[in-house]
Each structure stands twice: as structure tokens, then as C-alpha cells.
Structure 1
Amino acid sequence: MTGTVLILGASGFIGSHLAQAFARAGWTVRAGARNPVEARRRMPSMDWVKADFADLTDAAGWMPLLAGVDAVINCVGVLQDGAGERNAVAHVAGPRALISACEGAGTRRLIHLSAVGADESAGTAYGRSKAEAERLVEASSLSWVILRPSLVVARASYGGTSMLRGLAAFPGVIPVLGGEQHFRPLAMADLCDVTLALAGRSEGTRLKLDVGGPDLVTQADLLVGLRGWLGLKPASVLRIPAWIAWPAVKLGDLLGWLGWPSPFRTTSVRQMSYGAAGTSPEAVTQATGIVPRGFAEVLGAEPSTTADRWQARLYFVRPMAIVVLGVFWLVTGLVTLGPGFEAARQHLVTAGFGDNAAWHGAWWGGWFDVVMGLALWVRPWTRPVAVGMVLATVGYLIGATLWAPQLWLDPLGPWVKVLPMMVLCLFVAATDDRR
């Protein structure tokens, strides 16, 4: 059976794959996202609609989105509270309004994507709010399915899966916090097949399933397997004590509030320690007839490409580049405004500026560098600021060449040295995409 399906979170990691799978299976897909304009550029074939749980706080707001919809699949989720993200909104308030609207609209089926470890006892806001969402679904009058996947593996990667690839590709060693946490790696295609099978049932269903592969894999073995899949030379696993990693975890928490959501945060560490494996897949096979593939088979089905290796190797290089580039501009500006002010002013005077113009040039030039360095670290501005840095530097070099061309031959290379910085700006701008 097919029909019209509303997929919420359709621009996300799991949601985007489900949207494509349902479209291929003959369903009419209505794809919901917080930013449908951006999502439409990546997947133009979908019927994109704006669906933000922060705005849709009552059943009435959902009704236009549910018109003519036979099934709803909720893939919306956040790891931890941060800038623009709240567990209570994504996992409780939004689903509560959605469920009420589905009951009022007569929607045939609701499939709710939860997660293994979505339990009160996990000790995280993520676990508590996810568990509350499951209770809301179970208490509804709908024909519902709750799917609790373990670690989902696909050619694409985002968030935690990208971090795992970055750790697997680390030079020389494979760093891991603990390493004995267990997963049941699940192929994205198998998760899509399971969801399709359950959505297409004509009879009523009230079913809750852990969805994972047949292999129980430790985090250390998972990273070793990913390193092999990337085609990199084998490396030893370096187990990091918790007391060493905890400052980095807290830094990840802070960055989340500043608009840089990191998968390496308190919630992810605690959830993995609690358990992210779930039960073996016999119940999934019994309910759907689908036999999830093992970890080695999943990796072997799609060999890695150059793009995969680039992404993995650059995972930790990119944040370092953003930090160093911002510090470079910030320190340059502060030095110009402080101990180097007179030298900067004198350079401008030597180049032909009057005293007043040279003073203002040094002053405002220093502040420009400070502002650009700080602005680079504001998440929505990173790409345009990096491009602006390149353009500003090109203008600077043109002016410098006209006023003091001899400095191109200076042994200290004051003009030549900015060229690598421009390339670093282009690298930051070119790798700014999150999805």
C-alpha cells in the first residue's frame, strides 16, 4: 500500500534517505524541514514544506500540513540543548501537538523514529525527553510504530557518524574514549526497508522495535572497521581516559550554545556509556521479513571514495583552521591597535598618506581585523566572512604593491606571507557545509 507521506526532518541524515526511499517506492512525499528553501536546493524533486516544531505548538498549526496525508514519519531530534535546539521542543512539545493533530485529521499511521537508549535511566535530558515522546505516541489512538535504531551507517555521514570517521582516520593511532561501548551497526538501506514495510501495512499496528544489525560491535572495533573501509593503513587503538577527555566534552557543550553543535558532548558520552546497541534483530525480521545485514557486509557493499577519505581526514583539520584563522586576524588587529600602532601609522606615512589619514588608516584597519577575526567564529557568518577576508586581502595586496612594491622582495616576505592565509580562508569557506 502507498499513499501520501509527510516526513518530518526530511533534510536530516535519516530523514533525507527515507524521503528518497519512499519516493522510489511510489509514495507521494511531502518533505518537512525547518529550512525548506535550502533543502530544496539539495533535493529539488521533493515537495518541501516548512515544518518547525518550535513554531507548530498546537494541533491547528499542523492541519494544513496533514491535509491528504496517509502516514507521518517523525525523524526530528536533537542531541543536546544549544543555540536554536531544545530537547523539550523537538522531543516533547512538538510531538505532542503533532499527535493531537494526527488524531484530529484521521491520519492512518504515525511512525516515530526514536533511538536505542531513549530511556529515563540514561540520565540525560535527551534520554528523558525521548522516552516521554515514546509514551505520548503509545498513549495515542493512532496506528503507531516506534523504531529505535542503533548506529545507522550510510555512504553519507553527519554529526556523530562523521566524527567516527574522523577518529578512524586520525594519523598514526585511533583515539577512542573508553572503546568498550557497544553498537549494532545498521545499514541505512535496511532501516529504510523496515520503515517502508511498516508504513505500507493496511492493518492497524501498535509496535515498538529496536532496529539494529546482527553484529554486536565495540566502539574500538567499529573504528578499526571504518579505518579499513577508508583504505587507510592499520593503526593501534589509543584509549583515552575519561579525565583527559572531559575538558574536550565540556568545550563541546559550550560550542553547542555558541551555534557550533558538536557530537562530542556530555549527552553523547553518557548515552554511549548507557548503551546504544539494543536487542538483536529477530523481532524486526519477524515483523517485516527483513534480515538486517552484518557490519562487514554493510561496509563492503559500498567501497569508500576519495571524497570519503578527504572528509574523514579533514574532520579535525577544519575546526583547527577556523580557530587559527580567527586568532591570526584578531591578534593582528590587537597588535596594530596596541604596541604596533606607531609602526603601522609610519608605514602608511611612508607610502604617501598624510599624518591624519595614516592615523585613521591604522586605527580603523586594526579594528577591521579584530571584527573579522571575531566574526569568523559566529556560526552563520563563517563562510561570508572567510570570503570577505580573501577580498580584503586582495585589496590590501593591490594597494601594497602600488605603494611599496619592493616589499615583495623583502627577505621576511611581508606580502608573500599573506598568500597562505588567503588559501586557508578559501579552505574554510569551501568546507562550510554541515549536511
Structure 2
Amino acid sequence: MRVLLTGATGFIGHAVAQALRERGHAVVAATRRPPPGGQDHVQADFASVPSRAWWLPRLADIDAVVNAIGILREQGGQRFEALHHRAPAELFHACAVAGVKSVVQVSALGADASGHTGYHCSKKAADDVLRSLPLRAAIVQPSLVYGAGGTSAALFDKLALAPLLPFPAGGRMLVQPVHIDDLVEGIVRLVEGPPDEVATFAFAGPRPLALADYLRALRAAMGEDARQWIVPIPASLFRAGAALAGAIPGSMLDRDTADMLLAGNATQANALPALLGRAPREARDFIAPPARESARREAALDLWLPVARLALALLWIWTAIVSFGLYPVRDSYALLARVGLHGTLATLALYGAAALDLVQGLLTLAAPARWRRWNWLAQIALVGGYTALITIFLPEYWLHPYGPIAKNLPILALIALLWSLEPPARGGRR
């Protein structure tokens, strides 16, 4: 079969493309930016809503269509209404006219009359359009999808490693996570054997789990002690925290995702066991033993690096505040005099260094991605320079029982780690 696949570069779409090719099918990937010279690609920007007339000639030799386009949050020019509803609707109408043999729409569990978030409502709108058309089609509604490289999987791995979590109702809301391999196998089976008319299939794991139990299962799968302290908090406080998190670029959590999490994500009509002819994978088996340690380390970095970055920023900012006057200015001048700085030069050095520390603290919190590597290098230079000057002119501070200079060594190691984990700037030499 020749299969048109939208969202082929996404988490689910990429896995579907690989599985279809392994089954001997030809995959035509519809993407915003096809690779240069790439074959079997269609350039299509769903944000601009290609019309059904635009799609028709591109469906001429297509046997099946899989729509795996999806975003969890709106950002930039990506909007739920365009990507989840209007663009897929135009594609589905074109499929009906072109006589495409089968269509699979990857929707979401909860995209029904009970859904009220923009994510669920836009998914349901496209599902309803597909249900109205004379096609052999399947609407796949998966629960939380877990797999290597998945954004939600990374989030739940990170939450699973946290020693303490504040959650409404102590994390008792029900979820029914499904592994990406089981989801993809189900999608491929529906592509190859579509229902006679449009039908909806809930895809979920073998049984509902309390969210707290899901996190414990992931902890155990990563080799950690399954015990985790989950503190019940009011739902209103959780939503307020999610609203603040929503202001952070790249954050998965906002008001809508918080509402979806609080509502739970489980089903009593799981179609996956019958379709696969076996039980889906249990959450405790989501992480294969050979991948256990790498998954644990990646989750630990995801969890603690933002904390380390915040702590470093506060260190720079607090140092600046202290230097601006909380520490006796007379004593600061006395120290600068021992370095050979007096009068105006001492004043410039004191307040200039304080201003520089403040700038470094703010950049640690909010530097654009293209600046970060340079910012870490600047911090290494500053801390290294301060350490060298004190070593030369005030060597007795190395013997201070509180270790004010010795502490620069782990700080330098932390900054070097942050620098090394920063992705290199694009467009550099290869």
C-alpha cells in the first residue's frame, strides 16, 4: 500500500512511518519542511489549512491516509483550530472524493462530549467531520502514550523520580497509559484492515491506574525504590501553579493540560486487546531493563537541571545584592585595597562586579537559547577570574573553615555541565 502520513516527524508519526515501512508499505510523508531532494514527501503546512482541492492531485496514487498531526499546546502560529480541526477536515473531504481506501485519524481519549479544553474540542471537531463522510475509516483515541522520545513520557519519568510531589487528591485520578509500540501496532492493523464504516477505537493500557501508582511503576522500572511521597493539595492551587508554568516556553503544563490531568484519562471500552489479540504492555514493563539506567539518568537530568540552574541564578543575584550594600561597603573597600585597587578604581570594581553578577543571574534565568553557551563560558571566566585573584592576593581564604573559595570548584563544575548540555548553535561548522 501507498500511505500518506501527516505528522511524520512527530513522536507518534515517526513510529508509525517506521512500522509501515517495516511491513512493506510505501510512506509518503506530509511535512512542513521536506528534506532537500527527499523522495516520497509532500510539503504541507497544516497551519495554513491546505484546501481539499489542493489535496486532490496529491491523493491520486494514495491507498491510505494516517493523520498523526497533533500539538499539546498552542504556540507561535500553531493553533488547535487549524491543525486539529480545519486542516484535517479538508484532507478527509479530499479522501472521500479521491476514493482513498482507508483513513486513520489519531485523535485522543476524552475527545468527546465531555471534553472542554481547546485540545479535546478541536480533536472532536475533526473526528465528527470524518464520521460524516462515506469512508472506511478508524478514529483512534489513545490514552497517555509512553515511549522513548515522547514528551509526555519524559514528563512522567521526571515526575516519577521526584522524591516529593504535590498533587490534588494525592494523585488518585485514573490514567490508563499505553506504550507507543502497542499503539503503533494497532494503527497499522487498522490501516491494513479498516472497518467497513467510520468507527472509533479507544486505545489504552491493560487497566486503569491511579496516577500515583503509574508513577510508582515508572520508578520501579527505572530501578528506583517504588515509594514516593505524594502530598495532597487543593485542585485550585494546582491549577494556579499550572497557569504560571504555562508562561514558560516549552512547558507541557498549563491550565488546559492541568484540567486534562485532573479529569483522568481512562476508558471502559479499550479496543486494543481485541485488535492485538493480546493484552497491551503493563506500565511496569514500559522501560526495558537494558534502557533502565539511561532512562533514569535522563529523567534525573530533566528533573534537577532546572533546579540547579535556578540555584545558580539566585547565587549570582544574591551576590550582587550583597555587594551593592548588604555587606559593609567599608569592608569591601578594605578587601579591594589588598588587591591594589583604591579610590575611583575600587568603586568601579565593586559596583561594576556587582552589576555584572546581577546580569549573569538574570541571563541564567532568561538568556535566549543562542546566547546560553556564551553565557556559561562567561560565567566560567568570571568565577575562574575571581578565584585566581583571591588565590594571589587573599590566599588565606582557602583556609577559611566555611570554604568561601573552595566552593567555587563545584560551582565551576556545575557551570561546565550546563555548558556541555547546551545544544550547539545551528549553522556552525560541521
- Name which of 241, 259, 263 aligns with 1:270: 259
CA contact (8 A) 1:82 1:261 kept: no
Out of 9, 12, 26, the residue aligned to residue 10 of structure 2 is: 12
Select 2:145's aligned residue among 130, 143, 152. Answer: 152
**Structure of greater Rg:** 2
Secondary structure in 2 matching 1:214: coil
Within the candidate set 217, 235, 255, 2:245 is matched to 255
| 1:66-118 per-position Cα deviation (integer Å, ceiling 9, x unaligned) | 67544332223233445665333332233234435555666544321111111
Residues in 2 aligned to 1:34 and 1:342: alpha-carbon distance in whole angstroms: 58
Q: Which amino acid aligns with 2:68?
A: C
| Residues 109-258 of structure 1: pairs in structure 2 closer than 5 A | 109-154=102-147, 156=148, 158-171=150-163, 176-178=167-169, 179-201=171-193, 205-235=197-227, 238-243=230-235, 246-258=236-248
- CA distance in 2: counterparts of 1:30 and 1:356, whole angstroms: 70
Is the partner of 1:228 in helix, strand or coil?
helix
Decide whether the 8 Å contact of 1:345 with 1:361 is kept in 2.
no
CA distance in 2 between partners of 1:5 and 1:353 (Å): 71
Distance change (3 Å), C-alpha of 1:337 and 1:98: farther
Please list the CA deviations of residues 135-161 of structure 1 after superposition, one character each: whole Å capped at 9, or x if unmatched. Answer: 12223454432100123233x153333
- What is the deviation of 1:250? 2.4
> Larger RCO: Structure 1 or Structure 2 (Cα < 8 Å, ≥ 6 residues apart)?
1
Alpha-carbon displacement from aligned partner over 1:6-65 (angstroms, at most 9, x marks no partner): 231x3333223222222322233344556778xx9xxxx997776543244545676797
Map residues 349-428 of structure 1 onto 2, 5 A cutoff.
351=339, 365-378=353-366, 381=369, 384-385=371-372, 387-397=373-383, 399-400=385-386, 403-404=389-390, 405-407=392-394, 409-410=396-397, 411=400, 415-428=405-418
Deviation track 1:156-194 (CA, whole Å, cap 9, x = no partner) reads 1533333332333333x6765333322333232121111
**Deviation larger for 131-140 or 358-367:** 358-367
Distance apart, 1:420 and its partner CA? 2.4
Match of 2:428 in 1: none
Aligned residues: 416
Going from structure 1 to structure 2, the CA distance change for 1:4 and 1:260 (only over 3 Å counts) comes to closer
Structure 1 distance, partners of 2:333, 2:30, is: 55
Alpha carbons 1:108, 1:142 under 8 Å: kept: yes
Q: Per-residue deviation at 1:306?
A: 0.8
Deviation at 1:133, TM superposition (A): 2.1
Which structure 2 segments of 5+ residues have no match?
424-430
Aligned-residue identity in percent: 27
> Gapped runs of 5+ residues in structure 1?
none
- For the pair 1:306 / 2:293, whether they are aligned, the reply is yes
**Alignment partner of 1:112: what SS?**
strand
Backbone CA RMSD of aligned residues: 4.0
